[in-house]
Chains A and B, each alone.
Chain A
């Protein structure tokens, strides 16, 4: 097996000359949403789904570390002020206190940005929540490369970090529909869950397909003879767009959406990858190290299933600051780059 990733970005030092032909894109332009201009969207699907669920589940509480507005939890806070806990910008307390509430019968939904949960609060999640298998649902905005603020805010290795934590279930939904269906499902799950969140105006994509979110299940969204893309999160959106474009060039692309990163649906993955004759591409909004790509690679290799295999993932590097469309292009996860990489491999 070989792996391949996008080229690294341009050097920071010699790129200050302004390009006079076209205006430079701005970092803040897509600050509240990853949606493209032509995409259908729904507003704050996580917040609304949680409010809906909380009507029937009085044990649900919401906690945040000064990021209620930026994780759509403010919708829940407005609907259930007496069930909302503002913990201040203190991610370690957020997680350990959520664990404490869970001990006493609550089902806490704790929100912050993915970087701060994964990096700063890791030890607290590990011991105060996961080791005792407590039902805390950690829901985090800005997963992978979904902000142009640079390494302080880009959670390019959150899956790698969290995959190493025993007992933790990991979910990476694709769109508003996925999120809405995942919320009640992860609440029902008896243990801790980490869910990557798209917030604000969230694209609606999966209603075009015969799809239902099931925890632990990968779903084949479309079939195709030449390429099988296995993807999660927003890269499923990109994979579906890429598949449509490649179809025009008579390249058949199947898309297997695997929103549960852990435990991985190895049965479905082995079945689809084992069909033979197809290039297997894993596409993820995450570092090439330790995410869905390596999880799938290990699954295949352990089972002796060895199709041609490629990864579309972010490079193992601290990524640039800038506008998201620029960065997605630069690091190979825009639809155009997905199409180009796949064509290059065929």
Chain B
């Protein structure tokens, strides 16, 4: 049984950084593999998002987050709130890799009576903190969880994983305002900027730049990184955690959909992709060769 994972920092030694990055790369590879195998069960879906976000999840679950795989409700855990319900495939992959969910449930993804529904819900899945899917609710919930934790003098952090599409919702910005008003230094928002939404590229659906300046003007500490660069992510998560200012923190992650599987990365971008039955084996093979 895996014991409690203490979240926190990368090793400070000179060569420790490389070793950590290699370990994170192995985790990211496994997360991508689990996600592809779940994608194959449906034959379609949010696979490209999961591939794009896998590096962020690897750093989150194998460096930053404090949790106990055997006890998803452990009081001292960091809270990881997934508001993007359709990214459940990505989070399940991370939870499997983290030992919270058994790998054997992959085949049940999105199927009748599974614990892994297409859209993530707290009532179904160990390790899924909230019921997402009605986008724009995650950050407001996170504000409340942060306030509640502070009342208990808890030292846990609250992570909210949100998407560039969720930046369209007014509720996200109402929460951003609230978080800085309440000086929520236990809040770390992680935005996946994959430049994709349901109707097309996010920048065309609703222009959102300059993103750093927008968050800064709302009183947040901002880091913007290449969301597929493990070393950069590792550092950004460390800094967000260790910051001494009484401010909420946001890590804006620019990611590439389909990352790790060249033919999916090169394919026309879409919110919901179809992959032919014979292409799944090819995807797993390309992933292996890229690793």
Note all chain A residues with C-beta closer than 8 A to B13.
none
B113 adjacent to A24 (CB under 8 Å)? yes
Q: Does A343 count as interface, using CB distance less than 8 angstroms?
A: no
Q: Which of A85-93, A160-168, A265-273, A302-310 lines the interface with chain B?
A: A85-93
Other-chain residue from B110, B111, B169 in contact with A89 (beta carbon distance below 8 A) = B169
Q: How large is the interface on A (under 10, 10 to 19, 20 to 34, 35 or more residues)?
A: 35 or more
Report the bound CA distance from A120 to B168 in whole Å. Answer: 14
Q: Does A152 count as interface, using CB distance less than 8 angstroms?
A: yes
Closest chain-B Cβ to A55's Cβ sits at a distance in Å of: 24
Closest chain-B Cβ to A318's Cβ sits at a distance in Å of: 8
Q: Does A323 count as interface, using CB distance less than 8 angstroms?
A: yes
B112 adjacent to A25 (CB under 8 Å)? yes
Q: Does B124 count as interface, using CB distance less than 8 angstroms?
A: yes
A64 adjacent to B199 (CB under 8 Å)? yes
Which A residues between 71 and 111 are near B, CB-CB below 8 angstroms?
A: 74, 86-90, 92-93
B168 adjacent to A89 (CB under 8 Å)? yes
Report the bound CA distance from A337 to B81 in whole Å. Answer: 38
Q: How many residue pairs, one in A and one in B, have C-beta atoms under 8 Å apart?
A: 118
Report the bound CA distance from A88 to B172 in whole Å. Answer: 13
With A15-B113, A64-B199, A152-B132 as contacts: A27 and B118 at CB distance below 8 Å: yes
Apart from A27-B110, A66-B206, what 8 extra A-B contacts exist at CB < 8 Å? A12-B124, A16-B108, A87-B206, A88-B197, A90-B168, A152-B85, A323-B111, A323-B112
Question: Which of the listed residues B43, B105, B206 has the most CB atoms from chain A within 10 Å of its own CB?
Answer: B206
Closest chain-A Cβ to B35's Cβ sits at a distance in Å of: 15
Report the bound CA distance from A27 to B131 in whole Å. Answer: 17
Contact with B along A145-178 (1 / 0, CB 8 A): 0001111110000000000000000000000000
Note all chain B residues with C-beta closer than 8 A to A21.
none
B170 adjacent to A90 (CB under 8 Å)? yes
Other-chain residue from B133, B197, B198 in contact with A153 (beta carbon distance below 8 A) = B133
Closest chain-B Cβ to A105's Cβ sits at a distance in Å of: 25
Closest chain-B Cβ to A335's Cβ sits at a distance in Å of: 19
Contact with A along B70-98 (1 / 0, CB 8 A): 00000000000000010000000000000
Q: Does B211 count as interface, using CB distance less than 8 angstroms?
A: no
Which label, helix, strand, loop or mixed, suits the secondary structure of the A interface? loop
Note all chain A residues with C-beta closer than 8 A to B248.
none
Report the bound CA distance from A228 to B115 in whole Å. Answer: 40
Contact with B along A292-332 (1 / 0, CB 8 A): 00000000000000000000000000001111001000000
Closest chain-B Cβ to A268's Cβ sits at a distance in Å of: 37
Q: Does B205 count as interface, using CB distance less than 8 angstroms?
A: yes
Other-chain residue from B111, B133, B134 in contact with A24 (beta carbon distance below 8 A) = B111
B107 adjacent to A67 (CB under 8 Å)? no
Other-chain residue from B42, B105, B133 in contact with A26 (beta carbon distance below 8 A) = B42
Note all chain B residues with C-beta closer than 8 A to A18.
107-108
Other-chain residue from B45, B114, B136 in contact with A28 (beta carbon distance below 8 A) = B45
With A150-B121, A150-B133, A321-B124 as contacts: A24 and B205 at CB distance below 8 Å: no
Q: Does A115 count as interface, using CB distance less than 8 angstroms?
A: yes
Note all chain A residues with C-beta closer than 8 A to B44.
28, 31
Report the bound CA distance from A148 to B45 in whole Å. Answer: 14
Q: Does B135 count as interface, using CB distance less than 8 angstroms?
A: yes
Note all chain B residues with C-beta closer than 8 A to A24.
108, 111-114
Report the bound CA distance from A326 to B85 in whole Å. Answer: 21
Q: Does B244 count as interface, using CB distance less than 8 angstroms?
A: no
Note all chain B residues with C-beta closer than 8 A to A10.
113
Report the bound CA distance from A321 to B85 in whole Å. Answer: 12
* Nearest residue, chain B, Cβ from A25: B112
Note all chain B residues with C-beta closer than 8 A to A87.
206
Q: Does B166 count as interface, using CB distance less than 8 angstroms?
A: yes
Which B residues between 165 and 191 are near A, CB-CB below 8 angstroms?
A: 165-166, 168-170
Note all chain A residues with C-beta closer than 8 A to B205.
66, 86, 88-89
Q: Does A70 count as interface, using CB distance less than 8 angstroms?
A: yes
Which A residues between 26 and 82 are near B, CB-CB below 8 angstroms?
A: 26-28, 31, 64-70, 74
Closest chain-B Cβ to A111's Cβ sits at a distance in Å of: 11
Note all chain A residues with C-beta closer than 8 A to B42.
26-28
Q: Does A275 count as interface, using CB distance less than 8 angstroms?
A: no
Other-chain residue from A16, A70, A89, A120 in contact with B105 (beta carbon distance below 8 A) = A16
